[in-house]
Structure 1
Amino acid sequence: MHLIDLRTLQQFVRVAESESISRAAQALHISASPLSRTILNLEARIGFALFDRVGRSLRLNNAGRELLVNARALLRDNERLMLDLQRRAGGTGGTVVLGHMPGALYNGIIPDTARRVQAAHPSIRFQFESALESEQLEELRRGRFDLAVQTQDVSDPALASRVFASERYVLLMPRDHPLATTAEISLNALVEAEWVVTPERAGPSLRSAFTAACRRQGFEPRVACVAGDIVSALALVAHGFGLCVAQESLVRFSGEQILVRALPLLEMQTVYRIVWRVDGLTPAATRFLEALAAPSKAATPRGQRKR
């Protein structure tokens, strides 16, 4: 199969629009003779005529009109492709794929940063993918993710990271729970309470952090039920299944049936790190990192209710 190069298509379109070899040659700043040979060679290559010759004029036949439609579309696509590549190279276009653990977007810092980048560079797009922290690092090394959000230190020399936020955890309970009217919640009350927890997972997780905090205080939590994720846990708390701990930014999703209290005894806090490949940072991802480091009103969790 013989492929048609873009230059031949450009010359064909010009001849079709001019209906004249000489006028098309003038517009293209080339001689008429090589342009005429280009059109004849094109017709010979595809096996049929594209023009009806009427004196010195060339009129497109049905096959020529069909090719003209497709040629214009291909040339437009090529122009858009070149523009997109130029934008990518300059950091003003392209797609940034960002991996994150469930819950990492609730404080609003990552979404607000992405929105600021898009406001400045509308051709940059973002794709957010939820994954466990170990899975994020693997996809980052493979090159499928441009960036990842982690809560643990990253020791891989091929990866770089920096802390961009920290967040404390709070205690959530049903509004009609016996502890709801208690001025100061004792350690013994936490020991006796029933808890809604998230699943145990390989690597860092809310469940492992919560269990470790309880063990530091000398007890194992009494698990009433296990929720598939933290948002499901909030629903179970609202329906009276027990207490749970959650990051403070989740308070705005907790609803009126849930009471939010401070959690001083367990002293849980998480630190968020943005991670990238040392030798594989795209210009668009660089724009995001620069915006993330810049001061913003989104630097603290939003939507928190007074307790």
Structure 2
Amino acid sequence: MELRHIRYFLAVAEEGNFTRAAEKIGIAQPPLSQQIRDLEKEIGFQLFHRIPHGAELTTAGEVFRERVLAIPAKVNEATEVARRAARGEIGSLNLGFTGASLLNPIVSRLIRTFRRDHPDVTFKLEEGNSVELRDDLLNGTLDIAILRPNVNDPGSILTYPLSSEALIAAIPKSRDPQPDCDEIDLLSLKNEPLVLTPRTIGLSLHDTAIATCRRAGFEPILGQPAPQITSIMAMVSAEQGISLVPECMRQLGLDNVSYKQLRTLDIKVSIATAILKDNSSPTAAAFVALSRKISRVGKSEAKHPDEI
């Protein structure tokens, strides 16, 4: 039994006339009559009494109508739900992010916009360092990760640039050699311990910070490592050293921490949207598409010096 048979049957039942029903559904009357005869033959009983001025339902036809009346609407509903699922408008999304990334205005705009535009998507957020997030992508725990890309990322992961921001110095206010300046010569901090995440869990930012110090003309003294960007900032506040961090960290506004642009050094650190190549989730694809759109808008609003 085909859905069109049900639609044709209901049209004739509603109109009580084959000719009017044919006009309503946009086919000729003889083919409609044939379709109804085919349906009656398939189910094994007569649905209509043919009368001089139309057609009326048999007792069996009345019962059949009651049972199939909701079918077209249910099919339409199912089709629309499936169409929304194919567009990524419903479903679930497991999203991972680095500790600093949510402070980036591009990232917060991305998540806010996606949740507003996809209110029926179930969202689960997970924080981790970039290495953990890559592992979670690979083992299927995450659909999407917002992380700092590096050349060692496996080929099975696709990354799309999302945002880049200046690398700045975070200094204990009590150790700031130029408290009245918004920028600082990084070389003046060469004797201060540099607090970073261990390279094993923060490869990109760790290597960029070391390279920036060398570019400024000195080999940094590495202080006690910290596992997360927030713990790095806490150690800076506690006068355990300085750090080089993304500019978005200014938003933390920690006590006893000064943030300074690097004089003569215009270094950028990047974050990207990452997804497995073989991820077939329409919801994940919709998130990536939005991230690329928002990234393009962000780039048109900002200047982009060379990155390390």
Q: State the TM-score, normalized to the length of structure 1.
A: 0.61
Please name the residue that 1:208 is paired with: 207
Q: Name the CA distance, whole Å, in 1 between partners of 2:94 and 2:123.
A: 6
| Alpha-carbon spacing, 1:134–1:274, altered in 2? closer, same or farther (3 Å) | same
* Pairwise CA distance, 1:262: 0.8
Q: Name the CA distance, whole Å, in 2 between partners of 1:122 and 1:166.
A: 28
Please name the residue that 1:121 is paired with: 118
Please name the residue that 1:173 is paired with: 171
* Code of the aligned partner of 2:158: A
Query: How many residue pairs align between the two structures?
Result: 229
Q: 1:95 aligns with which of 92, 104, 107?
A: 92
* Code of the aligned partner of 1:170: I
Please name the residue that 1:254 is paired with: 253
Please name the residue that 1:106 is paired with: 103
Amino-acid identity (%): 24
Please name the residue that 2:149 is paired with: 151
Contact 2:132-2:201 within 8 A present in 1 as well: no
Q: Name the CA distance, whole Å, in 1 between partners of 2:95 and 2:244.
A: 26
* Code of the aligned partner of 2:214: R
* Pairwise CA distance, 1:203: 6.1
Q: Name the CA distance, whole Å, in 1 between partners of 2:227 and 2:274.
A: 26
* Code of the aligned partner of 1:299: G
Please name the residue that 2:273 is paired with: 274
Please name the residue that 1:28 is paired with: 67
Q: Name the CA distance, whole Å, in 1 between partners of 2:295 and 2:201.
A: 34
Please name the residue that 2:219 is paired with: 220
* Code of the aligned partner of 1:168: A
Please name the residue that 2:127 is paired with: 130
Contact 2:205-2:269 within 8 A present in 1 as well: no
Q: Which runs of 5+ in 1 are unaligned?
A: 1-22, 31-79, 301-307
Please name the residue that 2:21 is paired with: none
Q: Name the CA distance, whole Å, in 2 between partners of 1:156 and 1:198.
A: 21
Please name the residue that 2:14 is paired with: none
Q: Which runs of 5+ in 2 are unaligned?
A: 1-61, 70-76, 300-308
* Pairwise CA distance, 1:244: 1.7
| Alpha-carbon spacing, 1:206–1:154, altered in 2? closer, same or farther (3 Å) | closer
Contact 2:163-2:295 within 8 A present in 1 as well: no
* Pairwise CA distance, 1:298: 8.6
C-alpha deviations, 1:253-296, integer Å up to 9, x for none?
A: 03353221112356542122222233323211222122222348
Across the aligned residues of Structure 1 and Structure 2, the Cα RMSD in angstroms comes to 3.5
Q: Name the CA distance, whole Å, in 1 between partners of 2:155 and 2:199.
A: 28
C-alpha deviations, 1:152-179, integer Å up to 9, x for none?
A: 2476554433212111111122223241
| Alpha-carbon spacing, 1:298–1:29, altered in 2? closer, same or farther (3 Å) | closer
